[in-house]
Amino acid sequence: MNTHIHVGTGPGAYDVRVGHGPLRELAGVPAVAAASRVAVLHAPRLRDTAARAAALFAGRGLRPTVIELPDGEQAKTADTAARCWGTLGQNGFTRTDVIVGIGGGATTDLAGFVAATWLRGVPWIAVPTTLLGMVDAAVGGKTGINTGAGKNLVGAFHPPSAVLCDLDALGTLPAADYTAGLAEVVKAGFIRDPTILDLIEADPEGARSPHGPHTRELVERAIRVKAEVVTQDLREQGPREALNYGHTLGHAIEKCEGFTWRHGEAVSVGMVFAAELARLAGLSDDTVVRRHRSVLDAVGLPLRHPGGRWPELLDAMRVDKKARGNTLRFIVLDGIGRTRVLADPGPDRLAAAWARVSG
Ligand SMILES: NC(=O)c1ccc[n+]([C@@H]2O[C@H](COP(=O)([O-])OP(=O)(O)OC[C@H]3O[C@@H](n4cnc5c(N)ncnc54)[C@H](O)[C@@H]3O)[C@@H](O)[C@H]2O)c1
Ligand SMILES: O=C(O)C(=O)C[C@@H](O)[C@H](O)[C@H](O)COP(=O)(O)O
Ligand SMILES: [Zn+2]
C-alpha cells in the first residue's frame, strides 16, 4: 500500500506517494492526462528506470524524450539546463507537456528548474531515488542550479504535480549516499518531530539501512515535516526558513570544497555549528549540542570540517538566502522541535563556534 502525503492547498496541491512500486502510478498523475509529450530527465545510474518510465508513457500514446543528465551536483549548472531547453525546443514541448525527473536531489532540482523556466513553467513530476531526495529535495517546489558564487543561487519555487517515492530504489543506493540523506531526516527531527530522533537513537544501525525496521516510518515522518512546513509557507517568507537548519555553513562548505562533500555531510557539520552557535548565544545548552553530536555520529555523519578555510567560508555564508544586507541570519533551535532566527551573532561567536567544529 502506498501512503499519500498531501502538500499545499488549492489548485497547486499535490501528493507525495511512498511505498513499493509507486512508479507504476506515473502515467496516472493528473497532469499527464493533458500531455502529448513527456521529457524524462534522469541521473546516469537511473537509465533503466528512465527507460521503463518512457515505455510506460509510450504505452499510453505519449511521445517520450529521454535526457540523461550529468551525475549528481554536476547536473545543477546553467549549461545542463540550456542543453535541456534545446532538446525541449527541438521536440516542440508545449505548456501542457510534462517533465519527469528521476534521480537524487541534484537531478530533481535540475529537472524542476527546467520545468519552472521552460515557457515560464510547465508541469513536472519528481521521482526521487535517494533517501535525501524522498525526504526533502523532491518535496516543496524549491528548484535550482549552482553558480560560481555558490549553492542554489539561481532557481524558482515551482512545485511538482506529484512526487513518487519507491522505497525499493533505496536498495541500490551507495551506503554513503544513504547516510548523507539521514542528515535531512535528523534535521526534521530537531526542527519539528523529535520522535524521529528517538527512533534513530534507539537503533542507529537500523536507521542506516534501507531495510531497517523503522525505515518507512522515518521516511514518512520526515516527509510530513517538510509537507507541513511548505504548505504553510511555500515561498519562504517565514516558517520555511526552519528547513534551512544547518544549511548556512553547510552550503558554504559545499561551495568552498568544490562540491566534493555530499550535501547531507555538509549539513551535518552545519547543524553542529548552529547548535554550538546557539549555545554560545545563550539560547541553548550543552545537552542539545551533545545530542546533535551523538545522533549524527551514531549514524556515521561527520561532526567536523578539517579546518583552515574560515575567511572563505564566512564570505560564502554572506550569499546565503537568509542573509539580509550585511546581516547574517542563522536558524537555531529554541528547544528540541522548535526553531528561531539568530541574526548577526557577531564575528567572535561565529569564530568560536567554528573552532568547535573544525580542525
Ligand atoms: N530542493 C530542495 O528542497 C532540496 C532539499 C535538499 C537537498 N537538495 C539538493 O539535493 C542535492 C543532494 O541530493 P542527493 O543527496 O540525493 O544527491 P545526488 O542527487 O547527487 O545523488 C547522490 C548519488 O546517488 C546516485 N543515485 C541516485 N539514486 C540512486 C539509486 N537509487 N541507486 C544508486 N545510485 C543512485 C546519484 O546518481 C548520485 O551519484 C543537493 O544538490 C541539494 O542541494 C534540494
Ligand atoms: O526546502 C527548503 O526550504 C530547504 O531549505 C530544504 C533544504 O534541505 C534544501 O537543501 C534547500 O535546497 C536549501 O535551500 P536554499 O534556499 O538554501 O538553497
Ligand atoms: Zn538540504
User: How high is the ipTM of this complex?
Assistant: 0.99
**Domain end residue (candidates: 172, 195, 221):** 172
Question: Closest Cα partner for 63 from 30, 24, 90?
Answer: 90
Active site residues: 120, 142, 184, 226, 236, 240, 244, 247, 251, 263
Q: Which of the four pLDDT bands, split at 50, 70 and 90, describes residue 245?
A: very high
C-alpha cell read off for 85? 531547453
Cβ atoms of 14 and 27 closer than 8 Å: no
Looking at per-residue confidence, does 185 or 308 come out higher? Answer: 185
pLDDT average, residue stretch 222-226: 99
Q: Closest by alpha carbon to 75, among 105, 31, 120, 47?
A: 105
What 3-state class would DSSP assign to 341? strand
Let me know whether 153 and 213 are in one domain. no
Tell me: do 154 and 229 sit in the same domain.
no
Work out whether strand 150-157 and strand 339-343 pair parallel, antiparallel, or are unpaired: unpaired
Residues 156 and 263 in one domain: no
- CB of 181 within 6 A of ligand 2: the answer is no
Give the pLDDT score at 300. Answer: 98
Confidence of residue 255 (pLDDT cuts 50, 70, 90): very high
Residue 199 and residue 186: Cα distance in Å, rounded? 10
Give the mean pLDDT of 116-142.
98
Mean pLDDT of 326-338: 97
**Within this chain, do residues 252 and 104 fall inside the same structural domain, yes or no?**
no
Among all chains, which residue has been given the C-alpha cell 497547486?
12
Identify the domain containing residue 37 by its residue range. Answer: 3-172
> Do 150 and 204 have their domain in common?
no
C-alpha closest to that of 223 among 139, 290, 117: 139
Overall pTM surpassing 0.95 (yes/no):
yes
Q: Does the pLDDT value for residue 159 go beyond 90?
A: yes
CB 102 within 8 A of CB 67: no
Do 109 and 153 belong together in one domain?
Answer: yes
User: Does residue 204 have a pLDDT over 90?
Assistant: yes
Name residue 19's amino acid.
G
Of the residues 172, 194, 229, which one is the last residue of a structural domain? 172
pLDDT at residue 297, as a whole number: 98
The pLDDT assigned to 22 comes to: 82
Percent of the chain having pLDDT more than 70?
Answer: 100
Residue that is last in its domain, among 172, 200, 220: 172
Angle between helices 194-202 and 286-298 (to 10 degrees): 50
Whether the pLDDT of residue 238 is over 90: the answer is: yes
Which residues does ligand 1 sit against, CB inside 6 Å? 43, 45, 71-73, 76, 103-107, 109, 129-130, 132-133, 136-137, 140, 142, 152, 169, 172-173, 177, 180-181, 184, 262-264
Nearest C-alpha to atom 41 of ligand 1 is from which residue? 106
Residue 222: which CATH number?
1.20.1090.10
What pLDDT, on the 0 to 100 scale, is given for residue 246? 98
Tell me the average pLDDT across 79-87. Answer: 98
Nearest to 352 by CA among 281, 297, 288: 281
**What does the pLDDT average to over 313-335?**
97
State how far the alpha carbon of 160 is from the alpha carbons of 21, 181, 207, 228, 338, in Å: 19, 21, 28, 16, 27
pLDDT tens for residues 12-34? 999 999 999 888 899 899 999 99
Residues contacting residue 53 through CB under 8 Å, at least 6 positions apart: 23, 26, 40, 64, 100, 102, 127
Which parts are annotated binding residues for Zn(2+)? 184, 247, 263
